[in-house]
Structure 1
Amino acid sequence: MKVKSYEDLLQAELTVSLGGQTLQVSVFLIDHLLIDTGPNRKQKSLISLFEQWDINDVILTHHHEDHTGLAYWLKHNKDATIHMHPLGATYGQKKARLPLYRRVFWGKRPAFHAKELSDTFQSEHYVWEVIHTPGHADDHIALYNKEKGWLFGGDLYVHPKPKSMFKFESVPKLIHSLRKVLAYDFDTYICSHAGVIFNGKKALKTKLDYLISLQQEVLFLHNKGMTRKQVRQELFPKKHMMHYISFFENSPRHFIDSIIDQK
């Protein structure tokens, strides 16, 4: 685990590996506010850190297990108040039922109680605008700090040009959410997996342009008479190890399906 600092922000970055696949995931502390908890699989490192950090509140960007795995521990051992989108609060009340590969990769996610976020959140010194940004998850949010010109985006970015997506994701919804946040005045974008991106608005615009172009290509080929399988073979001919590890819950076919089904 690496702990980095930017002004009054602390970032704890962890590396998780399985079957040759490696991902970074980060949690952030600013103004006694923890943004996301990290995965339960890394509880030994994270609990040691959380015991040192002064945490009053926790905001969860969405309900996925790599962001909420230690919410239960923080509530019951740090007396921290957990906050998330109303849809996420409903998910959190029950123990997560995860596919085997996600349970092995990230660890379990115990049930927890969260307060529902409103449109703004007040930490000790800052006001945060809560922006609903579905596409990766229906309860996904971003946090905007106008004073700093910072945007915490959870999993809205992750990678500028993804070539695969999960079954539960949606390209049209991601496009809408990216357009929504790009209307805000920010320079620094803070990603749960890519970390702190100082030219963040440009990075998000790159991803938006890529997804729009991809959406147009999919619809053009499908309207020409290609089947979904043919469109996938044309645009994404290569297989990736993650497709097999996830039993194709993560696959290019979900790019195609989400675009065609919601056109």
Structure 2
Amino acid sequence: MRNIKTIVVVCLVVFVVSLIVGYTKWNMIPSSSPSPINKYDLRILVIVYNRAQSMLRLLNSIKEANFDGDNVKLEVWIDRSKAGVVDTLTGKTAEEFVFMHGHYEVLKHSQHVGIYGQWFATWKPRANSSEIAMILEVDLTVTFHFYKYLKLVHSKYDNIPEIKFKYLKCFKNWFAQVNQDKTFQPYVVGNVVTVWYKTFQAQGHKGLTANWLEAGLHYSGNASKPSDYENLPDQPKHIDLKGVVQY
């Protein structure tokens, strides 16, 4: 009888321990449910095709930035060639990069999307999302305090319709329509950039470009941080196509 009781007690102990271990393991399994709407405070999207060195320079500048302990996601979107091939060095460099400030993910498009696809098909915020997004091409770098300024601008102007991300959706819808007309040109009456663009078209160029490694066309000195960059006005200035402040 005593042996039976002993066996029963041992079985109960094993059963309880199994429950505890099983419960612990079950809770350690990552949830497969959809991510919360406001999961990230900031989403940085780096878009690249085959410029591994430039991409790494940008990623390193992001890694060295200050994010105030906020929840950040860094995404690297790699485009494919028209033959469907991902640049080996770019893919390897992106996958070996280590980001210490949040979630990091390398995403490779399933097919060639081009620069339009990189800009228009990568960030898809939900309607009621409050995350801040920043899309960066790889010829750029960011400063240590870039996120501090970005948050300041959003906190100051998020209630202004022209600044909300819904205008990106409007632009994407507009672009999808006009892009069906292969003769369409993005000319804006009275805009000096349109004049430049037409001139370059006549010369056989396809657009305006700049190289950050070289002196600019209009400015070649060393820029310094404005002392009052944090003193934002309550209402942003509205400027017309000629650069004249309207109100």
Calculate the TM-score normalised by the size of structure 2: 0.26
Greater relative contact order, per chain length (Cα 8 Å cut-off, separation 6+): 2
- Computing the radius of gyration from Cα coordinates, the structure with the larger value is 2
Calculate the TM-score normalised by the size of structure 1: 0.25
